[in-house]
Amino acid sequence: MAMALTRRNLHLLCPIFSARLLTTASTSPITIETSLPFTAHNIDPPSRSVQTSPQELLSFFRDMALMRRMEIAADSLYKAKLIRGFCHLYDGQEAVAIGMEAAITRKDCIITAYRDHCLFLGRGGTLLEAFAELMGRKDGCSKGKGGSMHFYKKDGGFYGGHGIVGAQIPLGCGLAFAQKYSKDDNVSFMMYGDGAANQGQLFEALNMAALWDLPAILVCENNHYGMGTAEWRAAKSPAYFKRGDYVPGLKVDGMDALAVKQACKFAKEHALKNGPIILEMDTYRYHGHSMSDPGSTYRTRDEISGIRQERDPVERVRKLILAHDIATEKEMKDNEKEVRKEVDEAIAKAKEIPSPDPSELFTNVYVKGLGVEAFGADRKELRAVLP
Amino acid sequence: MHRAAPRQRQEHNGEQAVPHRYTDGRVSTQRGGCSNSGSITEEGMHKSSPLNPTLKRSSPNGSTLSRFLFWELYREADMLGVLRREVACQGAHAWGLEQGLRVIASRALSSSAKAMTVRDALNSALDEEMSADPKVFVMGEEVGEYQGAYKITKGLLDKYGPERVLDAPITEAGFAGIGVGAAYYGLRPVIEFMTFNFSMQAIDHIINSAAKSNYMSSGQISVPIVFRGPDGAAAGVGAQHSQCYAAWFGACPGLKVLTPYSSEDARGLLKAAIRDPDPVVFLENELLYGESFPVSAEVLDSSFCLPIGKAKIEREGKDVTITAFSKMVGYALQAGDILAKEGISAEVINLRSIRPLDRAAINASVRKTNRLVTVEEGFPQHGVGAEICASVLEDSFEYLDAAVERISGADVPMPYAANLERMAVPQVEDIVRAAKRTCYRSTALAATA
């Protein structure tokens, strides 16, 4: 547990202050009850009592605050036209990414759709790589060629970053298949939204995962809106954790990082022995579907602010930290200031990075290009040989 | 009758052969603008023969021995239809039978003529690659216990077990996606579509999840997957089961698209596809599965592999280039024989690879023959032939002596009735007619007075 925490923190470039706070924080266990009980389908739910530690709670706070700050900064960059195209923000859903990371290792795989910035960070990606990619610069995690929806970190077990709704589920079952085939004793988490939950290919893949006992964990991040369509308008049965029928499911308070951690730990143990399981994370996104969507034409502002007040995941952990005297108010405020500074510095650095070289237009089309020619818009003007 | 210059269009009506020197020094002895097909060299024969890929000079004179060997081989090769083609194409012209026998005898001495069906070629290729690399696995409908809908995967389940030969439910989107995900992780899946018509259900995974991933991830996520299965028209299977997808997949950067014709192609290209680190769409043909082709010892070796992106000159010629792939190669070769009897020497190119397309070979051929006919089974609009014609126009415009010609499937969904189906798919006579058009030979004038 402690190893996992320090590995995650290494690249977060902890400034001195909170690094000290984190490393001096105790690792002695605390038990905390989840805010809500788990609702189970075809399985006995795990206990509501979650084992954690002051250090873990502090790292939860720090990482979630970092993710929150990153997404808000991305919003500003998008409005400043430094980020183009699509930009799907995750703020409000941080607890899912953080709780999951706490329960698994980098050998387990995660695959998701296009709301992938924070999951990338959780898997070991850096702020600099993230911002550079968003702005299309050459040192982005995909060298500027992917964009917001195509972040990858294979060495961290993160397989992207996919733009086609629902496609990531069969792909994730494929990862699980490969893990089982290779006898790796690890699991794959495939994240999808309430919108994707109705996709046919989900059921096709789930059927095979169940038939072949694949270590596949389907995680429905139910933020209650598939783009502009509320779940009750899109699904006859919005009880997504039950939709697996013969596949067991668990409904989890997705705004509670500890509940998420407990559920993922439980799911991993189950999947390694018994095959697929569905986790439905009851969560919420503060932003609209993407930066082109204000998010307020199909939801009331009261609803959004109500969730922010009652269920915000970062606030919940802050309250826990204060309630257990793990840190003072001032220390927490300073923590947040540092996070902000870290994000601002990363953005400033990312802005300095140049765009990819024009020759990169033709790289990575193939692993083995066989020396064939590829053409630009005017083939008499622009051609390249693929190595 | 002299032709003024290569580019001028003049109708020729089969007059006495007169030597004509072209501006670039070529000499033709044939009527009109096409050179004598009778001047096929021994070298040319060797190059076009699948019997012996390595060039060997003919053996010393031993006509009795040659004759004996010739008939032995002829009997064996007769059923393959191979020798008949080659003998026919030199029979009437400059070749004496002696010379032909000498060549065939030398081939007999230098290779053992074994035959193999395309089905067995594919099966053996899969078997060998699965044996060589434990990461290779096969997934598809009926590939395991049923031994393969077309028996291509026969015996693999018994040999490699159910963990490596997986029977999938009828859910193409699901199992194609699972295959791609497994390839992301580092395995080497061979995903079978019972026919490529069903690949449309999975096409998002082929294009968006497989083809584009290496580029979008800037090299982090490579996808060493093969999607294989029969493509194109079968016999009487109707509109929804007869489409050719070569042009659609061939358009996509990030994919490699292969179209084997012979057993040698099937073995060499499937092995190359499985070993290749990129996603490969491997388009077979149901009607070719049962056809037998000669294979040399080299082809049968487990290390045999053909290069991806290189076409093969199946038949060398001087007058017109005919490009084809898959089943149409056989038709083009038959057309070549018929054309030879009429004094037109056709060069038949077996494309083998739709993407990358061997533009160099196609253009080199057209620069030699100055005429082009493309042949494909698929729909005409935006087809493979359209790309080849465009490529030739762009790179070899000055060399063309005639407009480029395209032969393709008809611009209709495939009908069921046999007579209509026959009209919807290219026939040999269509290829012959188009080739003649490029030589300015109108068939109406071919009749005797």
State the pLDDT at residue B252: 98
- Looking at the partner chain, which of B169, B215, B219 has a beta carbon nearest the beta carbon of A207? B169
Among residues B391, B415, B392, the alpha carbon closest in space to that of B402 is found at B392
The pLDDT tens digits for B131-165 are 999 999 999 999 999 999 999 999 999 999 999 99
> Is A366 within 8 Å of B309 when comparing Cβ atoms?
no
* Mutate: best of A199, A217, A364, partner B, most B CBs <10 A: A364
Chain A environment of B209 (Cβ under 8 Å): 162, 164, 167, 171
Q: For residue B74, what are the contacts with CB-CB under 8 A and spacing of at least 6?
A: B83, B87, B104
Please confirm, yes or no, whether B46 is among the known catalytic residues.
no
Measured over the CA atoms of residue A249, residue A250, residue A255 and residue A257, the dihedral's sign is negative
- Looking at the partner chain, which of B174, B184, B309 has a beta carbon nearest the beta carbon of A372? B309
- Under 8 Å CB pairs connecting chains A and B tally to 158
The pLDDT tens digits for A79-95 are 999 999 999 999 999 99
* Crossing angle of helices A200-211 and B172-185, rounded to 10°: 70
> Is A374 within 8 Å of B187 when comparing Cβ atoms?
no
Nearest CA in chain A to B208: A164
Task: Name the residue with higher pLDDT: B191 or A8.
Answer: B191
Backbone angles phi, psi at B192, to 5 degrees: -100, 130
Task: Give SS3 for B400.
Answer: coil
Given a contact cutoff of 8 angstroms between Cβ atoms, the answer to whether B431 and B373 are in contact is: yes
Average pLDDT over residues B389-410: 97
Task: Give SS3 for B75.
Answer: helix
Nearest CA in chain B to A177: B182
- Looking at the partner chain, which of B178, B256, B278 has a beta carbon nearest the beta carbon of A177? B178
B205 touches chain A (CB under 8 A): yes
pTM: 0.85
Q: Using CB atoms and an 8 Å cut-off, which of residues 327-366 of chain B contact chain A?
A: 356, 359
- Looking at the partner chain, which of B177, B220, B394 has a beta carbon nearest the beta carbon of A174? B177
State the pLDDT at residue A19: 60
Chain B environment of A366 (Cβ under 8 Å): 214, 254, 256, 277-278
Q: How many CB atoms lie within 10 A of CB A118?
A: 27
Backbone angles phi, psi at A98, to 5 degrees: -70, -45
A279 vs A292: CA distance, rounded Å: 29
Question: Given a cut of 90, is residue A114 above it in pLDDT?
Answer: yes
Task: Give SS3 for A289.
Answer: coil
Task: Name the residue with higher pLDDT: B34 or B77.
Answer: B77
* Mutate: best of A110, A183, A360, A370, partner B, most B CBs <10 A: A370
Q: Are strands B320-324 and B372-375 parallel, antiparallel or unpaired?
A: parallel
* Mutate: best of A107, A120, A204, A383, partner B, most B CBs <10 A: A204
User: Which residue's entry shows tokens 């024009």?
Assistant: A358
- DSSP H or E stretch at residue A229: strand A229-230
Confidence of residue B82 (pLDDT cuts 50, 70, 90): very low
Question: Given a cut of 70, is residue B96 above it in pLDDT?
Answer: no
Please confirm, yes or no, whether B172 is among the known catalytic residues.
yes
Question: Given a cut of 60, is residue B101 above it in pLDDT?
Answer: no
Chain Cα centroid distance, residue A382: 39
Among residues A301, A296, A250, the alpha carbon closest in space to that of A276 is found at A250
The pLDDT tens digits for A115-143 are 999 999 999 999 999 999 999 999 999 99
Question: Given a cut of 70, is residue B409 above it in pLDDT?
Answer: yes
Q: How many CB atoms lie within 10 A of CB A127?
A: 25
Question: Given a cut of 90, is residue A2 above it in pLDDT?
Answer: no
How large a percentage of chain B has pLDDT more than 70? 73
Nearest CA in chain A to B205: A167
Q: What distance in Å separates residue A373's CA from the closest CA in chain B?
A: 9
Average pLDDT, chain B: 83
B415 vs A147: CA distance, rounded Å: 46
Given a contact cutoff of 8 angstroms between Cβ atoms, the answer to whether A154 and A111 are in contact is: no
Residue A363, both tokens: 């790289």
Nearest CA in chain B to A378: B394
- Looking at the partner chain, which of B175, B180, B278 has a beta carbon nearest the beta carbon of A366? B278
Chain A environment of B140 (Cβ under 8 Å): none
State the pLDDT at residue B63: 52
Backbone angles phi, psi at B42, to 5 degrees: -60, -40
B398 vs A160: CA distance, rounded Å: 49
Alpha carbon separation from B235 to B232, B376, B417, B423, B424 (Å, rounded): 10, 16, 10, 13, 12
Question: Given a cut of 90, is residue B57 above it in pLDDT?
Answer: no
The pLDDT tens digits for B27-40 are 444 443 333 333 33
Q: For residue A151, what are the contacts with CB-CB under 8 A and spacing of at least 6?
A: A116, A117, A120, A125, A130, A133, A141, A142, A158, A160, A161
Question: Given a cut of 90, is residue A9 above it in pLDDT?
Answer: no
The pLDDT tens digits for A149-204 are 999 999 999 999 999 999 999 999 999 999 999 999 999 999 999 999 999 999 99
The pLDDT tens digits for A219-238 are 999 999 999 999 999 999 99
Q: What distance in Å separates residue A262's CA from the closest CA in chain B?
A: 27
- DSSP H or E stretch at residue B28: strand B27-28
Question: Given a cut of 80, is residue B446 above it in pLDDT?
Answer: no
Q: Which of B86, B128, B141, B172 is catalytic?
A: B172
- Looking at the partner chain, which of A171, A176, A372 has a beta carbon nearest the beta carbon of B180? A171
B351 vs B311: CA distance, rounded Å: 4
> Is B137 within 8 Å of A204 when comparing Cβ atoms?
no
Among residues A122, A171, A192, A184, the alpha carbon closest in space to that of A151 is found at A122
ipTM here:
0.94
State the amino acid at position A322 in one-letter form: L
Q: What distance in Å separates residue A365's CA from the closest CA in chain B?
A: 5
Per DSSP, what are the bridge partners of residue B227?
A: B191, B281
* Mutate: best of B218, B363, B394, B397, partner A, most A CBs <10 A: B218
Q: Which of B42, B241, B298, B342 is catalytic?
A: B241
- Looking at the partner chain, which of B163, B253, B308 has a beta carbon nearest the beta carbon of A365? B253
State the pLDDT at residue B50: 42
Q: Using CB atoms and an 8 Å cut-off, which of residues 8-67 of chain B contact chain A?
A: none
Chain B environment of A111 (Cβ under 8 Å): 181
> Is A174 within 8 Å of B174 when comparing Cβ atoms?
no
B215 touches chain A (CB under 8 A): yes
Task: Name the residue with higher pLDDT: B85 or B141.
Answer: B141
Q: Are strands A383-385 and A373-375 parallel, antiparallel or unpaired?
A: antiparallel
> Is B205 within 8 Å of A170 when comparing Cβ atoms?
yes
Q: What distance in Å separates residue B349's CA from the closest CA in chain A?
A: 19
> Is A170 within 8 Å of B183 when comparing Cβ atoms?
no
* Mutate: best of B136, B164, B185, B357, partner A, most A CBs <10 A: B185
State the pLDDT at residue B67: 56
Average pLDDT over residues A315-335: 96
Question: Given a cut of 60, is residue A57 above it in pLDDT?
Answer: yes
Given a contact cutoff of 8 angstroms between Cβ atoms, the answer to whether A138 and A144 are in contact is: yes
Chain B environment of A154 (Cβ under 8 Å): 217, 220-221
> Is B221 within 8 Å of A201 when comparing Cβ atoms?
no
State the pLDDT at residue B33: 37
Question: Given a cut of 60, is residue A355 above it in pLDDT?
Answer: yes
Largest CA distance in chain A: 70
Chain B environment of A201 (Cβ under 8 Å): 171, 173-174, 177
The pLDDT tens digits for A235-248 are 999 999 999 999 99
Question: Given a cut of 80, is residue B267 above it in pLDDT?
Answer: yes
